[in-house]
Chains A and B, each alone.
Chain A
């Protein structure tokens, strides 16, 4: 099996093994700072999924191209982030992550309320919804849960999808 340090990014699920944080010197964000993030809204914006983008995305998954301009469901990772006017790198910055190796992916909760289609301009809005500082009883290591939620609505204002992504920031 693998040896050596383990690394993570927002788009993979690798658990980081970093030197234990020293709460007195090693934290980039205090617990009070952490809690001020709740309710922080992303800039928001609109996002249209182009055919070429959906074609390549679907191809990456190994599935046949979908009929009728349907967007592959996995688009609910990057489309909400980009449409809300942020990015993976900026989310790391907001959460106070100290490099990719300090971020783990806990999971996704994605709701599809209507089919998403190519060429439709979706309105995208979201915010940071939950944070929690945890301390390992075994190691004393500090890790913060960082949760954000983003919604997509179609041009008629109908809610199309909602995502909630759970990250873990190791301090």
Chain B
């Protein structure tokens, strides 16, 4: 999709994380130097009433970021403003979605402001776990995507 196809109301192609992998959380905890066991130690969280470890907030945001980069290229993201509404757990199936709400020219480039959200699949329904807005530069390269 190039910039001439994009208008207010355009839906961004969704991006799916089919399985939130606890092994990735362990690596992420090390990178972040986040000492809290909720992200990697099942024994530590069971007494607290959990049976699955909790995904890091930055990883939740990354799935929406991946959607934006898959759409408009790896250097397209200009702003992310999000809030988290529900925890995400290992094994969750997540889908990032977004819709263009405005298009402006800033510093010589076309930028789309988008409503974005991350949904957890629960059978045939979705539960929103993160909502926010993003600003994306239009017309960048479009790399392949993966999980």
Contact check, B78 vs A53: say whether CB atoms are below 8 A apart: no
Find the residue from A66, A73, A111, A112 having the highest chain B CB count within 10 A.
A73
The docked-state distance in angstroms from the alpha carbon of A111 to that of B35 is 26
Say whether B110 faces chain A, with CB atoms less than 8 Å apart: no
Contact check, B65 vs A61: say whether CB atoms are below 8 A apart: yes
C-beta contact mask, B38-79 vs A, less than 8 Å → 1, else 0?
A: 110000010011100011111111110110011000110111
Which chain B residue lies CB-closest to A57? Answer: B31
Say whether B126 faces chain A, with CB atoms less than 8 Å apart: no
How big is the A interface, by class? 35 or more
The docked-state distance in angstroms from the alpha carbon of A101 to that of B48 is 10
The docked-state distance in angstroms from the alpha carbon of A101 to that of B28 is 20
Say whether A19 faces chain B, with CB atoms less than 8 Å apart: no
Say whether B17 faces chain A, with CB atoms less than 8 Å apart: yes
Say whether B1 faces chain A, with CB atoms less than 8 Å apart: no
Contact check, A13 vs B84: say whether CB atoms are below 8 A apart: yes
Say whether A20 faces chain B, with CB atoms less than 8 Å apart: no
Using A63-B145, A107-B132 as known contacts, say yes or no to A78 and B33 having CB atoms under 8 A apart: yes
Say whether A135 faces chain B, with CB atoms less than 8 Å apart: no
Stretch from A21-29, A81-89, A150-158 at the B interface:
A81-89
The docked-state distance in angstroms from the alpha carbon of A12 to that of B92 is 15
Using A67-B74, A108-B61, A111-B78 as known contacts, say yes or no to A4 and B49 having CB atoms under 8 A apart: yes
List chain B positions with a Cβ less than 8 A from chain A: 17, 24-25, 27-29, 31-36, 38-39, 45, 48-50, 54-63, 65-66, 69-70, 74-75, 77-88, 129-130, 132, 143-147
Having A3-B49, A62-B62, one finds 9 other A-B pairs with CB under 8 Å, namely A11-B56, A11-B57, A12-B39, A13-B86, A56-B31, A73-B77, A77-B57, A78-B31, A106-B83
List chain A positions with a Cβ less than 8 A from chain B: 2-15, 53, 56-57, 59-64, 66-67, 70, 72-74, 77-78, 82, 87-89, 100-101, 105-112, 115, 166
**5 nearest CB pairs, A to B:** A4-B49, A13-B84, A107-B83, A61-B62, A9-B36
